[in-house]
Amino acid sequence: MHIQANEIAKTQDIKLYVEIHINAGGGSGPEVLVFGKSEVANQYASKVSNELSSTLNLPNRGVKTRNLIVLNKTVMPAILVECLFADSDDADKYDPEVIARAIVNGLVSADNSSDGEWKAGWNKNDVGWWYSPDPINKYYYTFKNDWKEIDGEWYIFDDNGYALQDVWYFDESDKAWYTIIREI
C-alpha cells in the first residue's frame, strides 16, 4: 500500500501517511510507530497514542521508532498505529467506531497544536533542544545520525532528536564513555 501512497504523494500535497493495525504478541495498549526523521510524524504519533490510550482506557505504550518499510520507504511523513492487542484482554475493548474516532481526534488535535515555527539550526521546546538542518520538511538529527559537528562543537542526539545534555553517554562504536555537559 505504501507504494501506491508514494505515487499519490508525488503529485499531491500529502501531509501524513497513516496505516492502522491491530497488534499481537501478548502486550496491552496502543503504540504508534515512526521511523524517526520527521517531527510531523512524531507529533501526530504522540497525539494519536495518547488519544487511543485515553479513549480505550488502556496503558499507553507510546511512540516507538522502528525501521519498517511502511515507515522508511515513504516520501511523506508516516505513522503506523497499533491500536490494541488482539490476543489479550485488550480485544474486549475492540470497537472500530470508537478506535476510528480516537485516531481522528488525535490527528485533529495534532493539527491544532502550535509548537511554533521551526527554523534552520537549534530549536527548543518544553522537552529540550533539537537541531534542524531542514525546517521545511521538519527534518532533525537523531541518534541514528551519529555524532554531528555543529559550529565547531560535537553533539549526539537521543532517539527523539533531542541533544543530550548533562549526561554520561556510552558510544558503542568506539566503546568509550563521554560526559556531555554544555549549554546550548
Mind listing the pLDDT tens digit for each residue in 93-136? 999 999 998 998 888 776 555 455 678 888 877 667 878 887 77
Confirm or reject CATH 3.40.630.40 for domain 2-112, answering yes or no. yes
161, 142 contact by CB (below 8 A): yes
CATH says 123-180 is which class? mainly beta
Q: Where in the chain is the domain with CATH 2.10.270.10?
A: 123-180
- pLDDT tens by residue, 136-173: 766 777 766 678 888 888 888 876 677 888 778 888 88
Residues 6+ apart with CB under 8 A from 3: none
Q: What is the pLDDT of residue 114?
A: 46
Q: Where in the chain is the domain with CATH 3.40.630.40?
A: 2-112
Give long-range contacts, CB 8 A cutoff, 24+ apart: 69-73.
Answer: 69/2, 70/1, 70/2, 70/19, 71/33, 71/34, 71/35, 71/41, 72/35, 73/2, 73/6
Q: For 94, list phi and psi in degrees, rounded to 5.
A: -65, 120
Distance between CA 180 and CA 155 in Å, rounded? 8
